[in-house]
Amino acid sequence: MTEPFTVAIDGPAAAGKGTVSRAVAAHFGFAHLDTGLLYRAVGIQVLHGVDPIDAARGLTPDGLDNPDLRSADVAQAASKVAVIPEVRAALLDFQRAFARRAGGAVLDGRDICTVIVPQAEAQLFVTASAEVRAKRRWAELQARGDDVAFDQVLADVKERDARDSERAAAPLKPSETAHVLDTSEMTIDEAVAAAIAVVDQKRKG
In this predicted structure, the answer to whether residue 35 has a pLDDT above a threshold of 90 is no
Among 179, 87, 82, which residue's Cα sits nearest to residue 125? Answer: 179
Q: If 0-12 CB within 10 Å is exposed, 13-18 middle and 19+ buried, where does residue 126 land?
A: buried
Percent of the chain with pLDDT over 90: 67
Within 13 Å, how many C-alpha atoms sit on residue 105's CB side? 21
Q: What's the pLDDT at 28?
A: 96
Within 13 Å, how many C-alpha atoms sit on residue 60's CB side? 1
The pLDDT confidence band at residue 205, using thresholds 50, 70 and 90, is confident
Average pLDDT over residues 80-84: 92
The pLDDT confidence band at residue 134, using thresholds 50, 70 and 90, is very high
Per-residue pLDDT tens digits for 43-68: 999 999 999 999 999 988 788 888 89
Q: What distance in Å separates the CA atoms of residue 103 and residue 64, rounded to the nearest whole number?
A: 22
